[in-house]
Amino acid sequence: MTEPGQVFSALKATCLDDWDAFIRHDFVRQLGAGDLPEACFRHYLGQDYIFLIHFARAYALACFKSDELDDMRAAAATLDALINAEMALHVKYCAGWGLSEAEMAALPEADANLAYTRFVLDAGMAGDLLDLLVALAPCVMGYAEIGTWLAADSARDHDQATRYRDWIALYAGAEYQEVAKGALEQLDRVAARRLGAEPTASPRWAKLAKTFRTATRLEIGFWDMGLAPPG
Amino acid sequence: MTEPGQVFSALKATCLDDWDAFIRHDFVRQLGAGDLPEACFRHYLGQDYIFLIHFARAYALACFKSDELDDMRAAAATLDALINAEMALHVKYCAGWGLSEAEMAALPEADANLAYTRFVLDAGMAGDLLDLLVALAPCVMGYAEIGTWLAADSARDHDQATRYRDWIALYAGAEYQEVAKGALEQLDRVAARRLGAEPTASPRWAKLAKTFRTATRLEIGFWDMGLAPPG
Amino acid sequence: MTEPGQVFSALKATCLDDWDAFIRHDFVRQLGAGDLPEACFRHYLGQDYIFLIHFARAYALACFKSDELDDMRAAAATLDALINAEMALHVKYCAGWGLSEAEMAALPEADANLAYTRFVLDAGMAGDLLDLLVALAPCVMGYAEIGTWLAADSARDHDQATRYRDWIALYAGAEYQEVAKGALEQLDRVAARRLGAEPTASPRWAKLAKTFRTATRLEIGFWDMGLAPPG
Amino acid sequence: MTEPGQVFSALKATCLDDWDAFIRHDFVRQLGAGDLPEACFRHYLGQDYIFLIHFARAYALACFKSDELDDMRAAAATLDALINAEMALHVKYCAGWGLSEAEMAALPEADANLAYTRFVLDAGMAGDLLDLLVALAPCVMGYAEIGTWLAADSARDHDQATRYRDWIALYAGAEYQEVAKGALEQLDRVAARRLGAEPTASPRWAKLAKTFRTATRLEIGFWDMGLAPPG
């Protein structure tokens, strides 16, 4: 495989139905159309705050598990960006939605959140760096696809003044797209180092595809959770 | 604290409503009364097969994390019993319900299963042996309480010829009760070694109570899953 | 590769000089000839007690990291044997050499011991099950080779009444040889599952060979330590 | 305990002889006097390159194991600084000593390096964040003490044109001293959260003191290694 993103494409191809159910989820459609109930969005934002913490822990684990400096550097930079920069942006954005950091930190963690984040962390602990990166891929790459899709869709079909414009702009924006591209390339690189030139021919492929699919299903569960705010 | 089981009792006392919702769950009541739909029980058994594998991994982790030989020995013996003995009994029991091991191994893992098992494993990885044992406690001790309650209840109120008699007898039986007592004592011992004579006065207590409560809530989620078999 | 033990043979072939320096170490030669100073042997026995504890932890980790039941079962059985049986034998044997368990537990851990055991554990944590099994292989297989060699050598050249006869008999014996054979087969099996039919053609091979060689060098360091008792 | 650095002071007080043997080691004295053979310094620099990689991994692990955002942030910032900034400085400094990064990356890792780094990582994996921070403390704080001592000593007694002036200035400098102060405060904070107001009264204290002492002894082993360059 030599085309950039080929490992991700090959993984996605093993579970296209699940992938579409994640990317085109009702939560996403409603968010793009601007008619997602605000209670749902707030519920999502609060849980996403908790999610980001464990997602950052997964990048810390990726750094711990790297045996090449380039992978350590990539993981350390992502981790620092997440926990020392993005987190502050997220907190500020949430404040605009009436959610204080103290409130979010006190929220009970939803089961869908526990399932997704702890699955990713355990996939990394039980396996190697590649197992971990594959478990992380649906989130990183999925949000890039969703951002791009919604931005294009919004431009075409909807009033730009949607309530969720800033959220869409974040993931459609050049900075996030660059992060996703970096993750795509790292997945190719680590797969080449650990599986060789034909990842899909490796005896590990079926297990990696299962991990990718489970993480994708857990993304769907996360959107489902978003549509069902408590109370 | 010197009375056996005091740490467990103190943890339970912090979330009695959740604990009762777990122990007296409809799944448990119906199982005890013998009117639990068999599709639910089979769904539960299949997921429990997967659960046991990750539960065994948690005991392997407990052994890895022990810094005293008695804790290593206890964890290694439990692990060996689970994976080299109980597992075979479970498989045999499931065969009686028409579930082959190959079928169970091929089942997609339910989200409730992922959430519970991976939460326990991550609690152990992120924390120390005590964090792990506290996360394991609701399962080990809860099944002992459920077994005892249902056995007494069955004796009093129901036809002994219930379909689920063997399941109840397993957890009400002397062997399982002894395992639970050992876990109770280990929890006291490890808490004393890491928190001192007054565990509830430790600054860690609130976090430990949160872990115990989350694991209890995830047990409730596991029963909920049992009542909702697929298709 | 289809001949049993081919992965181990291929790893050994990458560092034959180090391997011979480990197997034919002066400590081993003197032990076989019966002229190893008893102070050296006692120093070795005491450190080996500490070694066994961390070696057992490595098998616990192997069980945690397994994604196939056969590997979990193998690791759990080895762990239980080590910690609940071998350990007691070792303690009894050491008592015959005037070393009580309390004394051994109170020994400061030698740097050579720290280096070897923690390297193996970290190789397993950072990598996958295969990285861990490769790091464990020199010890498991080396002692089998040493036992066989010394037993044959003793039969040929030396007075059978050597002081170290029981130690040699343990590792030359059928039971230990069977353990080593199981480890040999597991290494083939896990390598096939993770690297495919030609492990030496995998891009991971160089790193695995480095891990094997480092562990072999650390075995040499352990014998060096044995020859240099404190005081 | 309320005075800053009290936990570190209390740990140091449990092993003052070892601490002095580390801080006042011949390697350090010769370095300060400017008469350390350059072959020793180069050997040290090359191994320190490898050390930094695993030290960075330990901070990644600290981030993974944190359950408070302030600890995650501190660990992530240190990790990013180490791997994405300090490392480049170290490489540049080593180039001035005729050591290329490629050469250093190809060096066999000394046993003293393996022992120290892997001990720290395993202490963190087996225990909790506090166990890890205690294992890291001798390095972080020791280099700050050494830098301060040598800078004062150099000012008083030696020609300022010592070959090792830049190395001393690095660790005596405000930036590094600030890093050490941050680590000192984090140790107090995490000890308070996990052990309460009187850390030395905790049942964990003896084990923590043992970890601190072992890490200090392994620092001594690292200097010993520096004085014994290969060939």
Tens digit of each residue's pLDDT (9 = 90 or more) over D68-94: 999 999 999 999 888 988 898 899 999
Tell me the chain D residues in contact with residue B127 when contact means C-beta distances shorter than 8 Å. 65, 67, 128
A106: exposed, middle or buried (Cβ count in 10 Å: 0-12, 13-18, 19+)? exposed
Q: What percent of chain C has pLDDT over 70?
A: 96
Residues of chain B where predicted confidence (pLDDT) is lower than 70: 1-2, 154-161
Give the residue, B85 or D195, on which the prediction is more confident. D195
- Are A45 and A173 contacting, i.e. CB atoms less than 8 angstroms apart? no
CB–CB contact C60 B57 (8 Å): no
Query: For C126, which of A67, A131, A203 is closest by C-beta distance?
Result: A67
Amino acid C141: pLDDT: 96
**Measured between CB atoms, does A73 come within 8 Å of chain D?**
yes
Convert the pLDDT of each residue in B80-101 to its tens digit: 888 988 898 899 999 999 999 9
Amino acid C81: pLDDT: 87
Chain C nearest CA to A68, separation (Å): 11
Active site residues of C: 139, 219
Q: Which chains touch B (3 or more CB pairs under 8 A)?
A: A, C, D
**Measured between CB atoms, does D132 come within 8 Å of chain C?**
no
**Measured between CB atoms, does A126 come within 8 Å of chain B?**
yes
Helix or strand or coil: residue D60?
A: helix
- Are C203 and A196 contacting, i.e. CB atoms less than 8 angstroms apart? yes
Amino acid A162: pLDDT: 84
**Measured between CB atoms, does B112 come within 8 Å of chain A?**
yes
ipTM above 0.85, yes or no: yes
Average pLDDT value over all residues in chain C: 94
CB–CB contact A56 D63 (8 Å): yes
Most confident of A180-184, C80-84, C159-163: A180-184
Tell me the one-letter amino acid at D86. Answer: E
The backbone torsions φ and ψ at residue C2, rounded to the nearest 5 degrees and listed phi first, read -130, -15
Q: What percent of chain C has pLDDT over 90?
A: 87
What angle in degrees, to the nearest 10, is found between the helix axes of B174-195 and B6-13? 90
Query: For A79, which of D57, D79, D82 is closest by C-beta distance?
Result: D79
Helix or strand or coil: residue A163?
A: coil
Can you tell me the distance from the alpha carbon of A7 to that of A212, in angstroms, rounded to the nearest whole number?
11
Amino acid D81: pLDDT: 87
Can you tell me the distance from the alpha carbon of C173 to that of B3, in angstroms, rounded to the nearest whole number?
48
**Measured between CB atoms, does D20 come within 8 Å of chain C?**
no
**Measured between CB atoms, does C161 come within 8 Å of chain B?**
no
Residue C150: pLDDT band (50, 70, 90) is very high
Query: For C122, which of D121, D218, D221 is closest by C-beta distance?
Result: D121
Spot the catalytic one: A15, A40, A94, A139.
Answer: A139
Can you tell me the distance from the alpha carbon of C211 to that of C206, in angstroms, rounded to the nearest whole number?
9
Amino acid C86: pLDDT: 85
Decide if B109 is catalytic. Answer: no
CB–CB contact B80 C83 (8 Å): no
Measured at the CA of A118, the angle between CA A171 and CA C57, to 5 degrees, comes to 140
Res D108 pLDDT > 90: yes
Longest dimension (CA), chain A: 52
Which of C118, C131, C212 has the highest number of chain D CBs within 10 A, making it the mutation to test binding with D? C118
Can you tell me the distance from the alpha carbon of A211 to that of A188, in angstroms, rounded to the nearest whole number?
16
Amino acid A178: pLDDT: 92
Query: For C203, which of A127, A193, A201 is closest by C-beta distance?
Result: A193
Can you tell me the distance from the alpha carbon of C33 to that of A102, in angstroms, rounded to the nearest whole number?
71
Which positions ≥6 away from C20 have C-beta within 8 Å? none
Which positions ≥6 away from A47 have C-beta within 8 Å? A107, A109, A110, A112, A113, A222, A225, A226
Structure tokens at D58: 């330990």
- Are D111 and D121 contacting, i.e. CB atoms less than 8 angstroms apart? no
Amino acid D60: pLDDT: 97
Res C1 pLDDT > 60: no
Res A199 pLDDT > 90: yes
Tell me the chain B residues in contact with residue A111 when contact means C-beta distances shorter than 8 Å. 111-112, 115, 217-218, 221
